[in-house]
Each structure stands twice: as structure tokens, then as C-alpha cells.
């Protein structure tokens, strides 16, 4: 049975405001969010669509993914960079003729959000 990759985010109430942080440690899996708006930016509908299409349709490149989503290349690339930064996806480099293309791949199976009050 393959190992499940789980990301965990904790939201903590502090002095009347919510702050976000990941588990302690230095791994790419552990993150320090600056505020709840960062979580909203990370978990919006467009990024959910990207994760779904990457996982189910397995596009061979960022360009192919942008075409499948009917979105501009730059917007999709920016969203992918954010998802990579927070450990949701990785890029697999593949050489094709004279170019290297980067195939996005989802590397988590689930996301757990804890709210501490």
C-alpha cells in the first residue's frame, strides 16, 4: 500500500485574530503562513481546478495544462509556483527534442486544517 502524503495546517486564535502556521520543523512539508488571507489565496477554486486536472488528466506540460483549463499560461504558471512553494505539487523535468518541459505532478493526497481556539 503506497504511503499517503498529508499536509497539515493549523489555524490558531491569538489576541482576537487568526494566525496560521504549519508543524514545527524545517521540512518543505511544514509552512509558516502570515495570515488567513494567505490560506484563502492558496485554497481558492482555481487552484482546486488545477490540482484536479493535474491529478486526473496528467498534462505533459504547463502549456498543456493551461489549454485544458482554458486559462493563460502566465496565470497558470504563477498558480503552479505557489502550489509548488507550499508542497502541493512538484515539477518533473523531461527532455523533448531540444527543450526541457516541466510536467506538474500532485504530491499530496490530503490536506488537514486544524483550528485551535
Q: What is the dihedral of CA 61, 66, 67, 69, to 10 degrees?
A: 130
Q: What is the mean pLDDT of residues 62-90?
A: 93
Mean residue pLDDT of the chain comes to: 80
Tens digit of pLDDT for each residue in 19-60?
555 444 435 444 545 556 667 777 889 999 999 999 999 999
Residue range 6-116, CATH number:
1.10.10.10
- Domain edges within the chain: 6-116
The reported pTM is 0.74
Q: Which residue is it, cell 484563502?
A: 40
Amino acid at each position: 500500500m503506497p504511503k499517503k502524503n498529508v499536509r497539515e495546517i493549523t489555524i490558531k486564535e491569538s489576541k482576537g485574530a487568526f494566525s496560521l502556521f504549519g508543524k514545527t520543523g524545517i521540512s518543505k512539508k511544514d509552512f509558516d503562513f502570515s495570515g488567513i488571507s494567505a490560506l484563502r489565496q492558496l485554497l481558492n477554486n482555481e487552484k482546486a481546478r488545477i490540482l484536479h486536472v493535474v491529478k486526473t488528466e496528467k498534462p505533459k506540460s504547463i502549456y498543456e495544462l493551461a489549454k485544458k483549463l482554458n486559462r493563460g499560461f502566465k496565470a497558470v504558471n504563477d498558480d503552479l509556483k505557489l502550489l509548488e512553494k507550499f508542497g502541493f505539487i512538484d515539477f518533473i523535468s523531461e527532455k523533448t527534442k531540444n527543450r526541457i518541459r516541466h510536467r506538474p505532478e500532485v504530491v499530496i493526497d490530503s490536506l488537514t486544517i486544524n483550528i485551535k481556539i
